[in-house]
Structure 1
Amino acid sequence: MKFSIIIRCYNKLSIVKKCVEAAVNSTDSNTEIILVNNHPPYNDVTEYLNYLQHPRIKVLDPMSNIGNAKGFNFGAIHAKGEFLVNLDDDIIVPNNDWINAMSKPFDDFPDLAYVSLAWNAVNYSIKDQVTQGPEYKQNVVYNPDYTIYFVSIFTMFGCVMIKKNIWKKYFANVVQGDLYGIDGYYQQQANALGMKAGYLLSHEAEHLVRTKEADFLYGAYKVLYAFKLLKQDYPSWRSGKSKLTKNERQVLKQFGYKPFEVDKMERLLSIPL
């Protein structure tokens, strides 16, 4: 087995199904797909996972929501692939042999820790940087099979590939107790080891976090959690929250939410469950 895709399931059913179906349809028998039941606040997702049957899909249940990072580790322990893919359940991978393209930089760069498959908003931001000056252009490597952009500050973990032996040796124990925040911990470790990390610009994923079928408040919750503005799980936060603080509003806008979207979050929070 060459690849193991690990999806921690905590989103709405329509989004989880799209994510899983895209992963299945864009890969072959050389890829297994591991679904970690993170006990989402949506009963239909739990039912879907309980009854799902597919020869390449394995469903694992850690018995509670263990979050993003620990969920990935839980799946990785059971994975058979040489390469591990940490795939968020609201990311839709492209149908263009993306998984083999992601694996190729590891042959060309022995010091590569992991590579991320970015979605359009991230790619636009990177391409804007590249046009600003030579200090950014020198971080881009063009190859006939892929284009990679190396970063040292932060690599977002929507869809990330890492070799299992590298994960086991250097990264399996770096994650702390946060439900989210795997991005920062991995980047710190890669920098400490003097290893590279980057985005594959030649292959682009789709992010469903702000689509109509997404749970709008859950997307905001993940941002606030990642910025360490809260610590509780989503159901606890949703049931006990009725208004955003000034700092929370500012962080959401910095992340890219428009003022009218932040206002919409306030309105949704004000509605009792």
Structure 2
Amino acid sequence: MQELNIGLPSCYQAVYKSHESNNLVITFTPTNGFFLCNNDLNAHKICISTNQPNYYIFNPGNACKKLSKYIEKLDVKNILLIGSSKAGLASILWGELIKRNINKSTKIFVLSFSPQTLLYPFNERLYFPSYKALIKLISKSDSLRKCAENYGDLNSILEESKLRGIVIYPKDNYCDRLEATRLKARGIILYGLQYPLHGSFLPFMPQTRDSKQLWKMVNKIYQNSLKDVDLNATIPKSADELFNIISSIKVPTIEQLCKNIFYKLDSGEDISVETIFIKN
């Protein structure tokens, strides 16, 4: 991965990896590092993170204009944006803004796991420590408050949108279920996974296919939770419990989802949960 210097606002960092493909994956990081940067998604890859608890709503219009100009140089046909939690919100918001700026022949699709959909006005459902930090920042910054007014409710952004995508949320998680089901966007499919935890992307990780690799992933999650207050607030107290919950869910890997989505985008076929959950 190489650092991507295209003039994004300083709170955002981006890296890029090229690939001989007509496809591009853009990922947003919910916690730290760069989400899916080491996964082989068979596509160009741009990974974006933020060093502030701004939920990716700080000046996304300007960021997406610059990102769109860079993407057009890559000459890709299909773009898939992926994120979870606050990064799930980003995948939808930035996906819509990129769609407004990029060549209309480019196909854009969003794969969003457990996104928050209402940040502003204050949403009492959101229990995440980083959300409290966001609200505090908004109260102190006129520029961030204006961004929150413009971008803090996904429904206002997507009112006339033709953006296509799938939102995967845990049916057994009260907050995530309500955040997902309030979303009103005609092109976005909602899929409730029989799963209780906020991290609904975890069962889709390739490590879940091998018990040793899954244990390694689970242990790393708990190590990271010592530094990440949001992560610590959304996982069980016991690593054994998390291991058992994840291993009980049988779904395709994120790599398989990407492969199936790009195939459907290329062929022009309709995309549904049933078609992308097929294991080839």
Q: TM-score, normalised by structure 2?
A: 0.27
Which structure exhibits the higher relative contact order, with contacts defined as CA atoms closer than 8 Å and separated by 6 or more residues?
Answer: 1
**Structure with a larger share of its residues in strand:** 1
Q: TM-score, normalised by structure 1?
A: 0.28
